Amino acid sequence: MNLKNEYIKLTPDSRLYNTPIPLIGLTGGIATGKSTVSSLFKKKGIALIDADKLVKEVYALPASIKMIKEKYPDVISDHKIQFPLLREKFFKNPNVKSSIETYIYAHLPDIFNQKLKSLGPQAFVVYDVPLLFEKNMEHLFDLTVLVYCRKETQITRLMSRDGITEDMANTILSHQMDIEEKRKKADMIIENDQELTELETEIEKTLKKLGIYQRS
């Protein structure tokens, strides 16, 4: 699978983590279906790295647990980080959140490159990053792809998925970048307002446009 030359815009030294191959940033909003798209990409044999999973790997490092235990011993139990307690500290003290995020982000390049190496030789890689636009990272990718659905669809899915009220769904969305703003920033859109079969068709169209589609 090769990416069309028109979508290879950066050099390794200008990409996120100095990635030596073209880097596609995949993002979305809550309940837009990004995780489903990631799974479908991987089923089609596309090399994909999940930023959330990398963060979990950093947290699991003995050095990370030791650091958090030294600074915030009350969030450690049985040598494990109790993430509900850690999130509570984040909300109460932004300095705690900033300090730990700085530590995590400092360790992400090594974890990312280890994962990339484990994938073997690849023509390109997709990096699933939920907060790609929120963190102003778009210039570090050759191409950004947004999994999109209307805000009304997000609300309906959130209510159904999490068993919450419409007011609560709106509150959750209010703390994220608006999906329409993300749409303006993205290079390419995968529409996901319909059912799974329509999403699969959208993915096929997108991969064909990129030049990397192979019908299974």
What is the tens place of the pLDDT at every residue in 81-107?
999 999 899 888 889 989 999 999 999
Q: Are residues 33 and 62 in the same domain?
A: no
| Short-list 17, 29, 16, 26, CA closest to 49 | 26
Instruction: Indicate whether 16 belongs to any domain.
Output: no
pLDDT more than 70, % of the chain: 98
Average the pLDDT over 3-27 and give the result: 97
| Residue 143, beta-bridge partner list | 24
Q: Where a domain ends, among 118, 149, 169?
A: 118
Instruction: Indicate whether 169 belongs to any domain.
Output: yes
Count how many domains the chain has.
Answer: 2
Q: Are residues 40 and 68 in the same domain?
A: no
pLDDT band at 45 (very low <50, low <70, confident <90, very high): very high
Q: What is the pLDDT of residue 94?
A: 87
Q: Are residues 68 and 39 in the same domain?
A: no
Is a pLDDT exceeding 60 seen at residue 51?
yes
Is a pLDDT exceeding 50 seen at residue 211?
yes
Instruction: Indicate whether 102 belongs to any domain.
Output: yes
SS (H, E, C) the chain: CCCCHHHCCCCHHHCHHHCCCCEEEEECCCCCCHHHHHHHHHHCCCCEEEHHHHHHHHHHCHHHHHHHHHHCHHHEECCEECHHHHHHHHHHCHHHHHHHHHHHHHHHHHHHHHHHHHCCCCCCEEEECCCCCCCCCHHHCCEEEEEECCHHHHHHHHHHHHCCCHHHHHHHHHCCCCHHHHHHHCCEEEECCCCHHHHHHHHHHHHHHHCCCCCC
What is the tens place of the pLDDT at every residue in 128-187?
999 999 999 999 999 999 999 999 999 999 999 999 999 999 999 998 899 999 999 999
Average the pLDDT over 47-74 and give the result: 95
Average the pLDDT over 16-33 and give the result: 97
Residue 68 lies in domain: 52-118
- Could you give the CA distance from residue 69 to residue 63 in angstroms, rounded to a whole number? 10
Q: What is the pLDDT of residue 1?
A: 74
Instruction: Indicate whether 204 belongs to any domain.
Output: yes
Q: Residue 182 maps to which CATH number?
A: 3.40.50.300
- Could you give the CA distance from residue 102 to residue 14 in angstroms, rounded to a whole number? 21
212 close to 22: Cβ distance less than 8 angstroms = no
pLDDT band at 216 (very low <50, low <70, confident <90, very high): very low
Q: What is the pLDDT of residue 213?
A: 61
